[in-house]
């Protein structure tokens, strides 16, 4: 509930700044990070461990506390327990009041759609947006992002990118060891001296012993992530001002001793801050090229993991004639009668946009997203027109099918772009026709997650198809929440509902599985849902068989199968099992037909021990008759060889139903497939 009589944002912020300057306030900051950023688990990590461990404060709020505490002398003297508790209680109240104050002007104005209010709403969404990247993604992507800049790091910073990774990991491991030993250590300490601050301290000597690395190299790395003395910390006077401790999260206490309150912040800075060093070096020209190359090469690599080497192409130039270059496709994926065109951009959200400046928000969005979409839309049109030639990086014309039923444009950015979903909803101008679908706007962190779990062309395309069809209907804090919902129960909503809100609570199981996979923590590596429910079932086997082929009919059929609800899938599994049992007894072909999508679509599964052209003609004829008798728009037929459980053939009848005297006669004459 918003208190309409509450104080202004600046008034609350000033009170918070005064509190953060209190003697020994650093111990209160340490408590907040310990309470809201520590995951507690025993042998195996479980979803409830994540849900119970991280609740309450946003990480951005806690970095506000650090930024404000450092505007004055950063005092680490230990106050009395009562004083620390008073700091904590007062801080909780002020942070809640600050959030209230951000909404206050909007509530008072009544009209949420006023232009100035849209900026304020996005300002709130940007600051409180959940992180779109996992800490291990920053850790793992750092090397790929800067590997071509390694010589610059050695020359200008005094360490290699490999050494940077190792030192970062050493700091995290040292702090984790202290964290695990903290509770037992309290037994030997006077309660008046209890504080969690020592967990976050580390020394150069500790790292040297842990790594056996040169002390000068370690110092060089650490000092490059400490706020330099020439930075004016006093300019941090609002939550949306630039906070230097986001980019330089290590705090120097004295010579050789430091504080790092959150390992995530160091990994994020490791990924993002060096880019500013490279850009600001006017003599170094490769930074922009390497940055763009990384986003494209990473996307290509992840998509090949799903679709295979032969279906993914990169850096495809489009020509109308030998001299007229019309555009370039960063990454192209072809699969049956579907294509994906990916356009990569590296534009970040500026500080003025983070303040809710609507004009600047729109300008940033235009440069980062709208421009990418306009380019990918043009390339989609060229792809459908065979008068335009596709030339690969070796100057050779790409000879591929240009007949696509659906093209999916993807716009991908290389950095965390807060409140991206909300901005796409409010700012993106896009077109949608029968073949070129609405755009899918994501960052590379989400592409990484998506390709981690959907390593199947059908599952991957099925999700994109559903997601873009709901582009106007889904509201969510970030893409991870929508994807987690899909993995849990399939992304499907009744058509009569206009809007659907998906909250962040769905992410816990996805987050846990990613930690298990990437950090090698014991636990379940796949969320319970669509990826586990049909493992080792006949339905799952059919999907596995379909995705081995690029046959357009099979691709269509496979995507249709993945749209079925769980009841229909269970009916199919049971029905096919019964037919297989019958076929084993009598050695005769058997078939199963169902109607779905409110009668607009039907499918027939035909099981037999052999297949020839005569049986193929029978199946095609039978599907045509079933389509007509059911007045369906589309009917599919799938023939499965029961000896090897392999798909022999797929047929489709896809056209509008029309009355026919001839079909009336045929419908009465044939009652089942074997009678034909």
- The CATH number assigned to the domain holding 366 equals 3.40.1350
Q: Which of 276, 309, 344 is the last residue of a domain?
A: 276
Boundary-marking domain end, from 70, 96, 130:
130
Per-residue confidence (pLDDT) for residue 3, from 0 to 100 = 64
Q: Are 60 and 241 in contact (CB under 8 A)?
A: no
The last residue of a domain, from among 233, 252, 276: 276
Tell whether 77 and 95 lie within a shared domain: yes
pLDDT score of 305: 96
b or e along 435-461 (b: 16 or more beta carbons within 10 Å of the residue's beta carbon)? bbbbbbbbbbbbbbbbbbbbebbbbbb
Token pair belonging to 200: 């976050």
Report whether pLDDT(234) > 80. no
**Whether residue 448 is found in the same domain as residue 380:** yes
**Which residue, among 580, 552, 584, 525, has the nearest Cα to 650 in the 3D structure?**
552
Pairing of strands 474-476, 500-502: parallel
Domain assignment of residue 532, yes or no: no
Residue 114 has pLDDT above 70, yes or no: no
Question: What would the two tokens of residue 166 be?
Answer: 């190792």
Q: For 56, which DSSP code?
A: S
Residues 309 and 346 both lie in one domain:
yes
Q: Which residue has the higher pLDDT, 500 or 134?
A: 134
* pLDDT of amino acid 39: 82
Which string of b and e fits 400-420 if b means at least 16 CB within 10 Å? Answer: eebebebbbbbbbbbbbbbbb
- For residue 389, list its beta bridge partners: 319
Number of neighbours of residue 395 by Cβ within 10 angstroms:
7
User: Which residues does 100 contact at the CB level (< 8 Å), separation at least 6?
Assistant: 2, 3, 6
* Predicted local confidence at residue 24, as pLDDT: 94
Q: What's the total number of domains in the chain?
A: 4
- Is 601 among the domain residues? yes
**155 shares its domain with 31:** no
Is residue 414 included in any domain, yes or no? yes
Both 142 and 121 in one domain: the answer is no
Is 499 contained in some domain? no
Taking residues 620-633, report their average pLDDT.
Answer: 90
pLDDT at 206: 95
Is residue 83 situated within a structural domain? yes
**Would residue 174 count as lying in a domain?**
yes
Say what the pTM is. Answer: 0.92
pLDDT (0 to 100) of residue 73: 76
Give yes or no for a contact between 247 and 269, defined as CB atoms under 8 angstroms apart: yes
Residues 303 and 445 in one domain: yes
Give Cα separations from 66 to 25, 61, 63, 260 (angstroms): 10, 9, 5, 11
pLDDT at 108: 64
Helices (H) and strands (E) in the chain, counts: 28, 15
Are residues 298 and 444 in contact, defined by beta-carbon separation less than 8 angstroms? Answer: yes
Q: Is residue 528 one of the residues assigned to a domain?
A: no
pLDDT tops 60 at residue 676: no
Interval 132-137 mean pLDDT: 93
Q: Are strands 500-502 and 590-596 parallel, antiparallel or unpaired?
A: unpaired
> Is the Cβ–Cβ distance between 456 and 543 less than 8 Å?
yes
- Based on the fold, state whether residues 125 and 154 are members of the same structural domain: no
- How confident is the model over 357-385, as pLDDT tens digits? 888 888 988 988 999 999 999 999 999 99
Q: Which residue has the higher pLDDT, 174 or 111?
A: 174
Q: Is the pLDDT of residue 308 over 60?
A: yes
Cα 178 to Cα 180: distance, rounded to the nearest angstrom: 6
Residue 489 is assigned to a structural domain of this protein: no
Residue 566 has pLDDT above 90, yes or no: no
Position 248 pLDDT exceeds 90: yes
pLDDT in tens, 399-418: 998 999 999 999 999 888 88
**Domain limits for position 14:** 1-130
With a cut of 90, say whether residue 548 has pLDDT above it: no
What is residue 374's three-state secondary structure?
A: helix
Taking only the tens place, the pLDDT of each residue in 336-346 is 999 999 999 88
Residues in the chain: 676
Confidence of residue 458 (pLDDT cuts 50, 70, 90): very high
Which among 343, 482, 487, 325 is positioned nearest to 411, based on CA atoms?
A: 343
Q: Are residues 173 and 268 in the same domain?
A: yes
Helix/strand/coil (H/E/C) assignment for every residue in 518-585: HHCCCECCCCCCHHHHCCCCHHHHHHHHHCCCCCHHHHHHHHHHHCCCHHHHHHHHHHHHHHHHHHHH
Same structural domain, 250 and 211: yes
With a CB cutoff of 8 Å and minimum separation 6, the contacts of 665 are none
Q: What is the pLDDT of residue 356?
A: 80
pLDDT of residue 209: 92
Per-residue confidence band for 221, with pLDDT thresholds at 50, 70 and 90:
very high
Distance, in Å, from the CA atom of 3 to the CA atom of 543, rounded to the nearest integer, reads 54
Are both 295 and 424 inside the same structural domain? yes
What do you get for the CA distance between the two ends of the chain, in Å? 69
Q: Are residues 322 and 447 in the same domain?
A: yes
- For residues 108 and 154, state if they share a domain: no
Lookup result for tokens 């009744």: 494
Stretch 631-659: mean pLDDT: 89
């Amino acid at each position: 509930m918003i208190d309409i009589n509450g104080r202004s944002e600046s008034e609350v912020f000033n009170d918070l700044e005064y509190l953060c300057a209190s003697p020994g306030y650093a111990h209160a900051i340490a408590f907040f990070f310990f309470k809201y950023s520590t995951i507690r688990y025993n042998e195996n990590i479980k979803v409830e461990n994540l849900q119970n461990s991280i609740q309450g404060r946003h990480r951005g709020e806690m970095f506000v506390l650090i930024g404000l505490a450092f505007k004055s002398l950063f005092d680490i003297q230990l106050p009395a327990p009562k004083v620390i508790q008073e700091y904590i209680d007062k801080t909780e109240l002020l942070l809640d009041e600050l959030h209230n104050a951000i909404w206050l002007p909007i509530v008072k104005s009544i009209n949420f759609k006023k232009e100035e209010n849209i900026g304020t709403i996005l300002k709130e969404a940007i600051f409180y947006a959940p992180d779109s990247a996992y800490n291990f993604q920053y850790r793992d992507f750092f090397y790929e992002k800067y590997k071509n800049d390694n010589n610059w790091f050695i020359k200008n910073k005094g360490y290699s990118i490999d050494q940077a990774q190792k030192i970062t990991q050493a700091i995290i491991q040292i702090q984790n060891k202290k964290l695990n030993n903290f509770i037992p250590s309290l037994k030997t300490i006077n309660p008046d001296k209890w504080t969690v601050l020592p967990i976050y301290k580390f020394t150069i000597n500790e790292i040297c012993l842990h790594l056996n690395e040169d002390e000068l190299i370690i110092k060089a790395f650490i000092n490059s992530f400490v706020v330099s003395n020439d930075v004016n910390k006093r300019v941090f006077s609002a939550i949306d001002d630039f906070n230097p401790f986001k980019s330089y999260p290590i705090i120097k206490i004295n010579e050789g001793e430091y504080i790092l309150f959150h390992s995530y912040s160091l990994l994020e800075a490791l990924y993002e801050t060096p880019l500013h060093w490279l850009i600001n070096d006017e003599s170094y020209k490769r930074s922009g090229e390497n940055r763009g190359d990384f986003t494209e090469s990473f996307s290509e690599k992840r998509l090949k993991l799903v679709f295979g080497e032969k279906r993914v192409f990169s850096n495809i130039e489009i020509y109308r004639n030998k001299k007229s270059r019309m555009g370039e496709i960063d990454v192209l994926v072809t699969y049956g009668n579907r294509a994906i065109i990916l356009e990569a951009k590296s534009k970040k959200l500026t500080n003025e946009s983070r303040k809710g400046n609507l004009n600047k928000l729109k300008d940033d969005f235009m440069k980062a997203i709208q421009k990418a979409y306009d380019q990918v839309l043009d390339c989609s049109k060229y792809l459908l027109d065979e008068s335009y030639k596709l030339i690969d990086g070796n100057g050779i014309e790409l000879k591929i099918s240009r007949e696509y039923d659906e093209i999916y444009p993807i716009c991908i950015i290389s950095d965390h772009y807060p409140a991206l979903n909300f901005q796409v909803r409010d700012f993106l101008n896009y077109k949608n026709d029968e073949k070129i679908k609405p755009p899918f706007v994501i960052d590379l962190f989400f592409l990484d997650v998506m390709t981690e779990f959907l390593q199947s062309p059908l599952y991957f395309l099925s999700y994109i198809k559903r997601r873009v069809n709901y582009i106007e209907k889904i509201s969510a804090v970030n893409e991870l929440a929508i994807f987690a919902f899909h993995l849990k129960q399939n992304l499907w909503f009744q058509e009569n509902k206009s809007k659907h809100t998906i909250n962040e609570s769905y992410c816990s199981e996805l987050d846990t599985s990613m930690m298990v996979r990437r950090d090698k923590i014991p636990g379940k590596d796949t969320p319970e849902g669509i990826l586990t429910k049909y493992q080792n079932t006949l339905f799952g086997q059919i999907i596995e068989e379909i995705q081995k082929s690029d046959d357009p009919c099979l691709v269509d059929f496979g995507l249709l199968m993945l749209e079925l609800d769980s009841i229909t899938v269970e009916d199919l599994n049971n029905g096919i099992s019964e037919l297989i049992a019958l076929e084993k007894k009598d050695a005769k072909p058997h078939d199963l037909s169902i109607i779905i999508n409110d009668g607009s679509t039907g499918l027939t599964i035909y099981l037999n021990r052999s297949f020839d052209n005569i049986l193929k003609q029978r199946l095609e004829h039978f599907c045509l008759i079933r389509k007509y008798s059911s007045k369906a728009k589309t009917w599919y037929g799938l023939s499965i060889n029961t000896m090897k459980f392999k798909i022999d053939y797929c047929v489709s009848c896809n056209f509008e139903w029309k009355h026919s005297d001839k079909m009336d006669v045929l419908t009465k004459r044939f009652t089942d497939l074997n009678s034909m």
